[in-house]
Amino acid sequence: MGYDIERYLNVRKAYGASFGPDGERLSFLLDTTGVPQVWTVDEAGAWPQQRTYYEERITFASWSPERDELAFGMDEGGNERAQLFRLDAGDGSVTPLTDMPEAKHRWGGWSHDGGRFAFASNRRDEAVFDVYVQARDGTGEDAELVHEGDGWLSVAGWSPDDDRLVVHEAHASFDHDLHVLHLDSGELEHLTPDTDDVRYQSAEWGPDGDALYLVTDEDSDTLYLARLDLDGGGIEVVEDGGGRESDDSRPRQASDRSDGEWNVDGVALDGETGRLAYSRNVDGYTELTVGELAGETDIEEFPDPDLPGGVCGGVDFGPAAERFAVTANGDAINPNVYVVDVETGAAERWTDAPTAGIPRETFRESDLVHVESFGVDGPSPSARETESHGGLEVPGFFTLPEDAEAGETPVIVDIHGGPESQRRPSFYGVKQYFLDRGYAVFEPNVRGSSGYGREYTHLDDVRNRMDSVADIEACVEWLRDHDAVDPDRIVAMGGSYGGFMVLACLTEYPDLWAAGVDIVGIANFVTFLENTGDWRRHLREAEYGSLDEDREFLEEISPINNIETIDAPLFVLHGENDPRVPVGEAEQVAEEAEQQGVPVRKLVFDDEGHGFTKLENRIEANAAIADFLDEHV
């Protein structure tokens, strides 16, 4: 065992880059102090300069297009109610732009002259978001309410002449609309069809302001790059990624997934030059394509960027789009910012996030595996009485520790949240720590995960919720058959919705588990929906089921109501200020499990929210998890 958890959590991450107006400097976020702060660097290899010095995390930073200043966001204690600030890059002074600590503020971008910025906020009504425009030198009281919303709105950017805003509206995770807000008249022009279950996201203004380039899954199982004409409103395909619908629209099974049928996750476009970059998500790995518009829907491609690792994102073009900044990382590569020459693809690392003295070559890489679970054409087995498997393919990433001994390796099954999220081959210091301690790590993307098409994502909706738990059972059976794995030492661990999955796995399949670690997880869907933030409830009900129509079912599948079946020791961790999954979820499941005679440990941080951001808390939490697993596994 080489290093303790503190060393692994001191492996740093540099990300969130933004080019300065002169194109010679970058801002980025770096967590050297324990929480992300704003830093700047003048060139590759230069000594970076720290620009903010707070105990709270910085959530984003965006350089003004014309002035030597940045906007950034910061919340308090993980409460997600971010406030906006302006940083003068010359003298280092910081000016608050908003001062409403009970409201969320979602950055919407600078105008092209840098004189104004837009944002969405729920300051008028906690349950809905409105659109505001504010002068760069104004205060929160000077913000102009330009549109009153009635749902979950965000601002996607200013038109080339700064007289319009793109407004994105989310009704559910897979149900979006796009609008153009005309600032002179206040008219909100609806651009997309009134169709449920279609995504429109990553919208960028075209060079002439007469179209939007975006990714959508309209008439498709997967997301593709498209052009939306603002006059006629029609969608034209730019790059379909091989994912357009065929006559056979059933969910893809283990035997029939085709190469290339993947999501185009997002696009970045420089409005002056028409240069763009878009990313394709290929079984969790990023394929980044760079090019230039040669027509409305034609792209002249440039050489692929020469980037390390398997995952990259966060593209920001510099002036004249001669180069762009992007963050790259991988299983064994911690995140750093690279600057890429658009025409050649040559990449140069501009940041040097340290690895805390841990040799990079000791980090372990995962293998992409596919596990067969039960299919979707026939009746789905219940989570309690699983039938024989055969049908649906469940992807996952499996990592073995160095020198794993046959039949003696304990495994942590690390389940992602969301549920419409995806585990990808990215760097996680905690994973590398447990690998160093001799644990294998399995990271499944069960049905309901994103990244594999709309049908796959919807396979766990509402009444099918427990089918995704049955997928975990299939993954554990696969692990138990693996030569290296000790079948009696398998651990369930997950955060947020992944915490629910941990509790559900422990109550539905109690004989499979040596221990469970529930981090900010849902124990009771009814109390979760009743107590989550008002602005989130409608979106969550679209995924899980509504309190009005599905209460009985939600109670039935809530782990708190099946706690009598649990056998494995349980560790519950939470943040007191969690606005998404209130801390009451941890308190009730820990109390109920303890009354059942289950060995239980509970750890609550009074200065954290939905997850742990402060370094000292992350050290304490993960050291405690390691001690818990050492005792019970």
Q: Where is 374: in which H helix or E strand?
A: strand 367-374
Contacts for 214-220 with beta carbons within 8 Å, 24 or more apart? Answer: 214/178, 214/267, 215/263, 215/264, 215/265, 215/266, 215/267, 215/278, 217/174, 217/454, 218/192, 218/193, 219/244, 219/245, 220/244, 220/245, 220/454
pLDDT at 243 over 50: no
* Omega of the bond leading into 401 within 30 degrees of 0 (cis): no
* pLDDT tens-digit readout, 306-356: 999 999 999 999 999 999 999 999 999 999 999 999 999 999 999 999 999
**Cα–Cα distances in angstroms (integers) from residue 44 to residues 313, 347, 350, in the given order:** 19, 11, 4
* pLDDT tens-digit readout, 132-175: 999 999 877 789 999 999 988 999 999 999 999 999 998 887 78
* pLDDT tens-digit readout, 422-478: 999 999 999 999 999 999 999 999 999 999 988 898 898 888 889 999 999 999 999
326 closest CA partner among 313, 343, 344: 313
At residue 256, the pLDDT reads 34
Q: Which residues neighbour 62 within 8 Å (Cβ) at sequence distance 6 or greater?
A: 18, 70, 71, 72, 107, 109, 110
Q: What is the DSSP string of 439-485?
A: -EEEEE--TT-SSS-HHHHGGGSGGGHHHHHHHHHHHHHHHHTSTTE
57: left (phi over 0), alpha (psi -120 to 50) or beta: beta
608 closest CA partner among 616, 597, 596: 616
Residue 536: pLDDT band by 50, 70, 90 thresholds?
low
pLDDT at 535 over 80: no
The arithmetic mean of pLDDT across residues 195-213, rounded, is 92
The Cα 196–Cα 173 span in angstroms is: 11
At residue 300, the pLDDT reads 97
Q: Which residues pair with 118 in a beta bridge?
A: 133
Domains contained in the chain, CATH given: 368-632 (3.40.50.1820)
At residue 539, the pLDDT reads 66
Chain centroid offset of residue 597 CA: 36
* pLDDT tens-digit readout, 615-629: 899 999 999 999 999
* pLDDT tens-digit readout, 69-99: 999 999 998 888 899 999 999 999 999 999 9
Average pLDDT, the chain: 90
At residue 380, the pLDDT reads 41
Chain centroid offset of residue 479 CA: 27
* pLDDT tens-digit readout, 172-185: 877 899 999 999 99
Residue 249 CB burial class (10 angstroms; 0-12, 13-18, ≥19): exposed
Q: What is the DSSP string of 567-631?
A: -S-EEEEEETT-SSS-THHHHHHHHHHHHTT--EEEEEETT-BSB--SHHHHHHHHHHHHHHHHH
